[in-house]
Structure 1
């Protein structure tokens, strides 16, 4: 399939965004403090505590994306274990920006 001019521009822009992402990945960026409902925080901690050892199954792109998102949830759980502060039904925690971005992207992809 051939891209339209607009689609070709989007593809170029996506490449620039990826280049920025590569640059940001090497930069020391500060954590951002977020708050979340306690139930979601508890689920993230449970994802961190789950034992998912063993070889990876063969997976397609969609399955790889879902595995990556599950790993991001587990890393949020680790952040909560290390530094989460419960407060009246919520939990406050400092998260690296890539974890916040992963959560936002997952939310955008909901049907």
Structure 2
């Protein structure tokens, strides 16, 4: 994998953190509202196809790829069961995905 993938993963972590900030404001809820921009970015992360398997990774690279995978799972949830209400999507997130977004925001 090239360095450009890790640049994308770093960008994915920023989007995951943006979603986590939304979840943090709604602590204790499984149903969350996510603004259009990070919601659409999450769906795009789910729809993206990565080329090749990862090789040896530094701990930072692994964490970035792991966060990008969590974002993609949120994108899957949004695409499968999200309900758009104006400029937000309402989605029932798995607690693990919500927790991953919270961790990225903190």
Partner of 2:46: 48
- Listed one character per residue, the Cα deviations across residues 82-111 of structure 1 (whole Å, up to 9, x for unaligned) are 000000100000111111111111111xxx
2: CA distance between counterparts of 1:57 and 1:75? 22
Aligned residues, how many?
A: 78
Partner of 1:61: 59
- Listed one character per residue, the Cα deviations across residues 27-82 of structure 1 (whole Å, up to 9, x for unaligned) are xxxx8110010111000000000001421121011111111000000000000110
User: Tell me, what secondary structure is at the counterpart of 1:34?
Assistant: strand
Give structure 1 stretches of 5+ with no counterpart: 1-30
Which structure's relative contact order is higher, taking Cα pairs within 8 Å and 6+ residues apart? 2
2: CA distance between counterparts of 1:88 and 1:39? 12
Q: Once superposed, what is the RMSD of the aligned Cα atoms? A: 1.3
2: CA distance between counterparts of 1:96 and 1:53? 27
1: CA distance between counterparts of 2:52 and 2:76? 20
Give structure 2 stretches of 5+ with no counterpart: 1-28
User: Tell me, what secondary structure is at the counterpart of 1:86?
Assistant: strand
2: CA distance between counterparts of 1:53 and 1:77? 19
User: Tell me, what secondary structure is at the counterpart of 1:92?
Assistant: strand
Runs of 4+ in structure 1 deviating by more than 6 angstroms, as ranges, are none
Normalising by structure 1, we get a TM-score of 0.67
